[in-house]
A and B are shown apart, each in its own frame.
Chain A
């Protein structure tokens, strides 16, 4: 899932300070699940801001609510009135939701309340770790199911760098060396020969290096005829 972390209160306060009516919008999906921007966090932020405003002697109307998925226009539409009624939207979803609202209402100022950080896995309650960078051309079939792009600080493709020691990464000794982990996994699976397999230079054009990526699924797209039908229904 997408894992995010709330921005510090002072930073949030500064972003919204010049505005009177603030709509604080959370999301029930990934950011709720990673305990960053669900209903609870939205309510807590509203309370924290109210306390801060009272302390700083500032008047501000703060309205907090949550959408099912902020990155989808249909859900955003449901709260259109509230968005248009506000002076600023503080989005408590990942930046996808923030930008969805921004694109739908270009005259509105929409600011992020969270730092969207990683594609992560909840290893245990309250601890998420990054496992994929979304390179667009997955190679973990040959690396024992462990991603060297995301889990190795240098995204090494063909074995560890010279700094790997005792299973730890030289960049930060608290992190496991991805290539050590790959080696151990392959050993366990009796596939150590894959360590010698030479991966050719990766084609990074499927990743961010190729510019903003768009994914199309032709068979799922609506035909112009279907689209017209939908408009009629609406």
Chain B
């Protein structure tokens, strides 16, 4: 096989912070073994540039491409895959290097060191790319067109609606016994217990009412929402009438809000060390505060919080709320708000901005925190998707995958990640519904590529990989040696790392390939 590398260096990063001499870097890289040619471009991350990079590589008869963009977080090999697939380049022969985070930012003050390190980093990437093998992917038909949505809240219903509109058979799993108009099937009082399989062909075990049911589905949307049931905390203990935000909404909607000052606090337990800024549903809090204020402008409305994260359009809402005369008080954990011991209709809090302790009389006290849904742990465990430290389901990437999870065929939307205003949850639900539809559209699942493979002669059948793999991919086959179900393997590498007999390799991440890369780096350049 020929090994000809096209190196593409993006200039944009170096323009912003003139640390690197990109032309010099390009010149040295051109001398490296296996490098066919080196080109510099602007904005490697734009689709226009991407397609021309691939075209250019093809005309120069390169069989592999190294892209050196400003930040690997955004420009990952997956960006190129769609383009590359259509061309002659194997999608596993595209690699990226992140010079911004690895070189430019840490060595801003020392351009000489930065240049040296960039060269070493590039040499390592080129050595690695030259050592890679083209890999194949395989296809398997999807057995169903089922979409399972976990949680029939705002986001979940929206996802189901959209997907059903596109012909998917939707099944909603809802833990309460709420009856609602839903597309497809609604399983109430039910929850996900276990999941087997992989994107395209999942097999779920659901607890529905008293019994367990098995469900096949192609794609899953997690819309478990936040934890609305909570409300235990120091404020609710000392003031029985304190209510969660949605109750406040109900009483405003039904016109039963008592007259008198309204106070909204970010959490029912400001003393608790567990309060996390992420839990504060500031968007809803701002909205409701404004509705209450507009309904009766003479009413005092106060918002008390540790951190206001009103970003994007909410920034305008924040401004508008201030103009309406809503009072904002910021506190910190050292002096959290408490109910006055002598008067349970008074809240005492130290205003950080004024540096003074204020005592607020209120008729209505509401708290605006929606902690992560504790069910997320079970859901994430069953589906093998990551959750954040706060207990929310983690999304792929804010910019490039706001409703995806690292697992193909599993999407997430709404407050399952962290509290969202209704409109955002709805929009995310729609997005997840569309992505789910798109995922099912081809009717086939792809698998393989950079996955694990066992060398049977080396395997001691020790079961370590079987016990370790989070996806239950390895098993001991008929020959008494470990085998990997490629469809299930996510290429995470845990089995290869722990196998005591070094019998497992992850394609394109073999010890040899990793050593080649490390050694090139340690040699420190070309």
- The answer to whether A39 touches B467 (Cβ under 8 A) is no
- Contact check, A33 vs B460: say whether CB atoms are below 8 A apart: yes
B462 at the interface (CB under 8 A from A): yes
B502 touching A125, Cβ below 8 Å: no
Bound complex: CA A38 to CA B459 (Å): 10
A35 to B462, CA, bound (A): 9
Beta-carbon contacts under 8 Å, B450-473 to A: 458, 460, 462-464, 467-468
Asked whether A125 and B460 contact (CB < 8 A) given A28-B501, A35-B500, the answer is no
Q: Does A40 contact B (CB under 8 A)?
A: yes
Q: Could you tell me the distance between the alpha carbons of A43 and B499 in the complex, rounded to whole angstroms?
A: 12
| Nearest Cβ on chain B to A133's Cβ, whole angstroms | 24
With both beta carbons as reference points, the residue of chain B lying nearest to A68 in the complex is identified as B460
Q: Which of these, B458, B468, B500, B502, contacts A33 with CB under 8 Å?
A: B500
Q: Return chain B residues, CB-CB under 8 Å to A100.
A: none
| CA gap between A65 and B503 in the complex, in Å | 14
**Inter-chain contact B468/A39, CB cutoff 8 Å:** no
Whole-angstrom CA separation of A136 from B500 in the bound complex: 31
Closest Cβ of chain A: how far from B460's Cβ, in Å?
5
Residues on A with beta carbons closer than 8 Å to the beta carbon of B468: 125
Give residues 7-44 of A contacting B (CB, 8 Å): 28-29, 32-33, 35, 38-41, 43
Question: How far is it, in angstroms, between the C-alpha of A40 and the C-alpha of B460 when the chains are bound?
Answer: 12
Are A39 and B464 in contact, CB atoms less than 8 angstroms apart? no
Q: State A33–B498 Cα separation when bound (angstroms).
A: 11
A71 to chain B minimum Cβ distance, whole angstroms, is 15
| Interface positions of A from 38 to 61, Cβ below 8 Å from B | 38-41, 43
Contact A28–B502 (Cβ < 8 Å): no
Q: Mark B69-105, 1 if CB is under 8 A from A, else 0.
A: 0000000000000000000000000000000000000
Please indicate the chain B residues that have their CB under 8 angstroms from the CB of A39 in the complex: 458, 500-503
Interface size class of B (residues with CB under 8 A): 10 to 19
Contact of B462 among A32, A41, A43 (CB under 8 A): A32
Chain A residues near B500 (CB-CB < 8 A): 32-33, 35, 38-41
The answer to whether the Cβ of A66 comes within 8 Å of any Cβ in the partner chain is yes
The complex places the Cα of A35 from the Cα of B498 at a distance, in Å, of: 9
Which of A29, A35, A40: most chain B CB closer than 10 A? A40
Chain B residue at smallest Cβ distance from A38: B500
Task: Give 1 or 0 for each of B475-510: 1 = CB within 8 Å of chain A CB.
Answer: 000000000000000000000001111110000000
- The CA of A28 and the CA of B467, in the complex, are separated in Å by 18
Q: How far is the CA of A28 from the CA of B503 in the complex (A)?
A: 11
- Cα A38 to Cα B498 with chains together (Å): 11
CA distance A28 to B502 in the complex (A): 10
Bound: A43/B503 CA distance, A: 13
Least CB distance from A144 to B in Å reads 27
A39 to B457, CA, bound (A): 13
Return the CB mask of A189-228 against B: 1 if under 8 Å, else 0: 0000000000000000000000000000000000000000
Q: For the complex, what is the distance from the CA of A66 to the CA of B467, rounded to whole Å?
A: 23
Which chain A residues lie closer than 8 Å to B503 at the CB level? Answer: 39
- Complex formed: what's the CA distance from A38 to B458 in Å? 10
Q: Which residues of A contact B463 (CB under 8 A)?
A: 33
Contact call B502/A43, Cβ cutoff below 8 A: yes
One of B462, B498, B499, B501 near A66 (C-beta < 8 A): B501
Most buried by A among B463, B498, B500, B502: B500
Contacts A125-B467, A125-B468; A40 near B462 (Cβ below 8 A): no
Given contacts A38-B501, A39-B500, A43-B502, contact A29 B460 (CB under 8 A): yes
**Min CB distance, B22 to chain A, in Å?**
36
Known: A38-B500, A41-B500. A28 touches B460 (CB 8 A): yes
**Chain B contacts for A35, CB-based, 8 A:** 464, 498, 500
Min CB–CB distance A214 → chain B (angstroms): 28
**A40 vs B500: C-alpha distance when bound (angstroms):** 5
List the B residue with the shortest CB-CB distance to A33: B462
Q: Which residues does chain B contribute within 8 Å of A28, judged by CB atoms?
A: 458, 460, 501
- Complex alpha-carbon distance, A38 and B504, angstroms: 13
Q: How far is the CB of A41 from chain B (nearest CB, A)?
A: 7
User: Does A32 lie within 8 Å of B501, measured CB to CB?
Assistant: yes
Residues of chain B within 8 A (CB-CB) of A125 are 464, 467-468
Which chain A positions have C-beta within 8 A of B501? 28, 32, 38-40, 66
Residue of B nearest to A41 (CB): B500
For B467, the chain A residues whose CB sits under 8 A away are 125
A-side contacts of B498, CB under 8 Å: 35, 40
Pick the most buried of A29, A41, A125: most chain B CB atoms within 10 A of its CB: A125
Nearest CB on B from A186, distance (A): 31
How far apart sit A41 and B502, CA to CA, in the bound complex (Å)? Answer: 9
**Which has the most chain B C-beta neighbours within 10 Å: A32, A33, A66?**
A32
Query: In whole angstroms, how far apart are the Cα atoms of A40 and B497 in the complex?
Result: 9
Alpha-carbon distance A43/B500, docked complex (angstroms): 10
A234 CB, min distance to chain B CBs, angstroms? 24
CB-CB under 8 A from A41, the residues of chain B are 500
Contacts of A33 in B (CB 8 A): 460, 462-464, 500
Map CB proximity to B onto A125-155 as digits: 1 under 8 Å, 0 otherwise: 1000000000000000000000000000000
How far apart sit A66 and B468, CA to CA, in the bound complex (Å)?
Answer: 23
**B468 and chain A: residue at smallest CB distance:** A125
Distance, CA A87 to CA B187, complexed state (A): 72
Q: Give the residues in chain A near B499, CB-CB below 8 Å.
A: 40
**Whole-angstrom distance between the alpha carbons of A40 and B464 in the complex?**
13
CA distance A125 to B499 in the complex (A): 12
> For residue B502, which residues in chain A have a CB less than 8 angstroms away from its CB?
38-40, 43
The distance in angstroms between the C-alpha atoms of A95 and B397, with both chains bound, is 52
Cβ distance A154 to chain B, nearest Cβ, rounded Å: 33
Q: Who on chain A is nearest to B500 by CB?
A: A38
Which residue of chain B has the shortest Cβ distance to A35 in the bound complex? B500
**Chain A residue with the shortest CB-CB distance to B462:** A33
Instruction: Kindly list the 10 A-B residue pairs having the minimum CB-CB distance in the complex, ordered from nearest.
Output: A38-B500, A33-B462, A39-B502, A32-B500, A32-B460, A125-B467, A38-B501, A28-B460, A40-B500, A35-B500
Pairs across A and B, CB under 8 Å, 14 listed? A28-B501, A32-B460, A32-B500, A33-B464, A35-B464, A38-B462, A38-B500, A38-B502, A39-B501, A40-B500, A40-B502, A41-B500, A125-B464, A125-B468
A residues neighboring B (CB under 8 Å): 28-29, 32-33, 35, 38-41, 43, 66, 125
Q: A33-B463, A38-B462 are in contact. List 8 more A-B contacts (CB 8 A).
A: A28-B460, A33-B460, A33-B462, A33-B464, A35-B464, A38-B460, A39-B458, A40-B502
